[in-house]
Structure 1
Amino acid sequence: MNIIDFVKNAGEKIFKPGEARRESAIEKHLAKYGISGIEVEVDGDKATLTGTAADTATREKAVLIAGNIDGIANVEDRIRVTNPTPAPVAAANPASTTTSTGSVQSSTTASGDGWQSRTYTVKSGDSLSKIAKEMYGDASKYPQIFEANKPMLSDPDKIYPGQVLRVPPER
């Protein structure tokens, strides 16, 4: 079990005013990105995801898709992976998450909870190349971040402050 924090008032606006079943809206949103087999429970601004994912990347994407919805501040990850990807060799850069205020905190990684990617919260003025420079030490590695966040990202230039992105291990 892992709880991941997000910016509550940033992200896609998928809830309709007065919508009673926010769970089904999130499940439909996940399905839009090709993710099925995940059940959602919403309590206030916290979404709990349970069920199974085919692989680690799908699990990570499901959590980030749910968290990058306007009105969701926390996602509790209870997803089981049926075909876990072996943990990569540790990268030279320390695992960290940069928050929207620019502070660094420990990230979700493969070490203790099955995650293999780091996460990064986009702040004003960021670009994928700037994030790649910070996370990998090389701005030209931005396509790795873009590919890791497909289909949530359709264009490398369309990111927004508060959005949480997957930063996969450096290749």
Structure 2
Amino acid sequence: MSIFDFVKSVGAKLGMGDGAPTADDLKNGLDSHNLGTSGVQVAVNGDKAVLQGSVSDQSTFEKAVVAVGNTLGVSKVDASGLKVGSAAPAQEPVFYTVKKGDNLWKIAEAQYGKGNGAKNNLIFEANKPMLSSPDKIYPGQVLRIPPLG
């Protein structure tokens, strides 16, 4: 449950040059979203980001994983050392990797069942502030899928 896969060749570009992002680049990028991740430390091991520390809730845990993982040059996020309060995350996060031709309506129908495309706003809201618009998703991007009600 604690290692999550991402597409290394897509995502936000951080830092200078063409090299892999540094731990400082990833931490600064994470903190720029104002998620409440000041208690999170970031390390880099090759193309894997390692998160340690604690966050206040499950949503912040998942957003931290997605924010770091959707960075150019990161293929995995190891969150085994990231806790919710003082415990492990309460539930297994659900993530979805965007495919060519996807939009949030299609993703909502695929994840929540036919006829639930209108629930796409739940997915958009669950991925703020990393998503600035529901129309700005791209293939390879990983999104949080929150549970229905």
Is the TM-score greater than 0.5? yes
Listed one character per residue, the Cα deviations across residues 66-118 of structure 1 (whole Å, up to 9, x for unaligned) are 1000000000002111187xxxxxxxxxxxxxxxxxxxxxxxxxxx9534541
Which residue matches 2:111? 135
Shift, 1:17, TM fit: 1.8
Which residue matches 1:12? 12
Determine helix, strand or coil for the equivalent of 2:9: coil
| Runs (5+) with no aligned partner, structure 1 | 85-111
Which residue matches 1:152? 130
Structure 1 consecutive aligned stretches of length 4 or more whose deviation exceeds 6 Å: 18-21
Which residue matches 2:22? 22
Instruction: Report the Cα distance in structure 1 between the residues aligned to 2:133 and 2:93, rounded to whole angstroms.
Output: 20
Which residue matches 1:68? 70
Aligned CA distance change for structure 1 residues 83 and 168 (closer, same or farther; 3 Å): farther
Q: Is residue 120 from structure 1 mapped to residue 96 from structure 2 by the alignment?
A: yes
Which residue matches 1:37? 39
Which residue matches 2:84? 81
- Quote the sequence identity (%): 47
How many matched pairs?
A: 144
Instruction: Report the Cα distance in structure 1 between the residues aligned to 2:20 and 2:127, rounded to whole angstroms.
Output: 29
| Runs (5+) with no aligned partner, structure 2 | none
Which residue matches 1:53? 55
TM-score, normalised to structure 2's length?
0.89
**Kept after mapping to 1: 8 A contact 2:57/2:85:** yes
Determine helix, strand or coil for the equivalent of 1:123: coil
**Kept after mapping to 1: 8 A contact 2:20/2:72:** no
**Kept after mapping to 2: 8 A contact 1:2/1:113:** no
Instruction: Report the Cα distance in structure 1 between the residues aligned to 2:18 and 2:118, rounded to whole angstroms.
Output: 44
**Kept after mapping to 2: 8 A contact 1:120/1:165:** yes
**Kept after mapping to 2: 8 A contact 1:50/1:79:** yes
Instruction: Report the Cα distance in structure 2 between the residues aligned to 1:7 and 1:20, rounded to whole angstroms.
Output: 13
Determine helix, strand or coil for the equivalent of 1:42: strand
